[in-house]
């Protein structure tokens, strides 16, 4: 089981739409997957599920448990202000330490409306993940100008984008 994490809690996000697309790719490759969508986080989770409250919030724990379903994950990372969304960092901070994502293999997909394709966001998140003992797949996919690439059917207009995501998925399955 591969968990695809849509890395923002923004409703109807492009990250979720790319997560849906990636799940289709994994299905075509014969692999079971699930989507962990941060829109499902409790609104008050920072106050009710972290620190002294760690492990006591059933809704947060349910999302965290999705990561335990397998040893591989794909993280779709929108670029927010030159980094990754704070809600993603807060979610990671609420996971058990050193457990949570320790020892897992992660594939990163950066998305942005600009030309960098989430490069800074992926770099920042890679540092956090490696500190936590998560192996980051070298094939990091950048999807720049996502507003032009992502179409109304949640598909990708660019052949290169589709090819890179498929190649990354194959590499993740082989790792």
Report the pLDDT value the prediction gives residue 125, as an integer from 0 to 100: 97
Residue whose entry in the numeric block shows the structure tokens 């089981």: 1
Q: What is the pLDDT of residues 13-43, one digit of tens each?
A: 999 999 999 999 999 999 999 999 999 999 9
Helix (H, G, I), strand (E, B) or coil at 83: strand
pLDDT value of position 41: 94
Confidence of residue 96 (pLDDT cuts 50, 70, 90): confident
pLDDT at residue 85, rounded to an integer: 96
pLDDT at residue 162 greater than cutoff 80:
yes
Residue 121's pLDDT band (cuts 50, 70, 90): very high
CATH architecture of 2-174: 3-Layer(aba) Sandwich (3.40)
Sequence-distant contacts of 117-120: CB under 8 A, at least 24 apart = 117/142, 117/143, 117/144, 117/146, 118/77, 118/78, 118/79, 118/142, 118/143, 118/144, 119/79, 120/79, 120/82, 120/83
Tens digits of residue pLDDT in 35-80: 999 999 999 999 888 888 888 899 999 999 999 888 999 999 999 9
Neighbours of 66 (CB within 10 A): 18
Residue 107 confidence class, pLDDT cut points 50, 70, 90: very high
- pLDDT for residue 113: 93
How many Å apart are CA 92 and CA 106, to the nearest integer?
Answer: 13
pLDDT of residue 24: 97
Tell me 50's DSSP state.
S
pLDDT at position 33 is 97
């Amino acid at each position: 089981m591969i968990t695809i994490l849509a890395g923002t809690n923004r409703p109807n996000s492009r990250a979720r739409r790319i997560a849906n697309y990636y799940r289709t790719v994994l299905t075509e490759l014969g692999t079971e997957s699930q989507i962990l969508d941060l829109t499902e986080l409790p609104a008050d989770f920072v106050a009710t599920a972290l620190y002294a409250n760690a492990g006591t919030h059933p809704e947060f724990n349910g999302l965290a448990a999705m990561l335990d379903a397998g040893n591989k994950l794909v993280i779709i990372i929108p670029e927010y202000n030159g980094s990754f969304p704070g809600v993603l960092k807060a979610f990671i901070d609420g996971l058990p330490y050193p457990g949570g994502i320790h020892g897992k293999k992660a594939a990163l997909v950066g998305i942005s409306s600009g030309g960098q394709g989430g490069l800074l966001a992926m770099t920042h998140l890679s540092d956090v993940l490696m500190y936590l003992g998560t192996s980051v797949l070298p094939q990091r996919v950048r999807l720049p100008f996502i507003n032009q690439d992502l179409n109304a059917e949640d598909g990708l207009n660019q052949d290169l984008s589709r090819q890179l995501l498929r190649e990354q998925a194959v590499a993740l399955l082989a790792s």
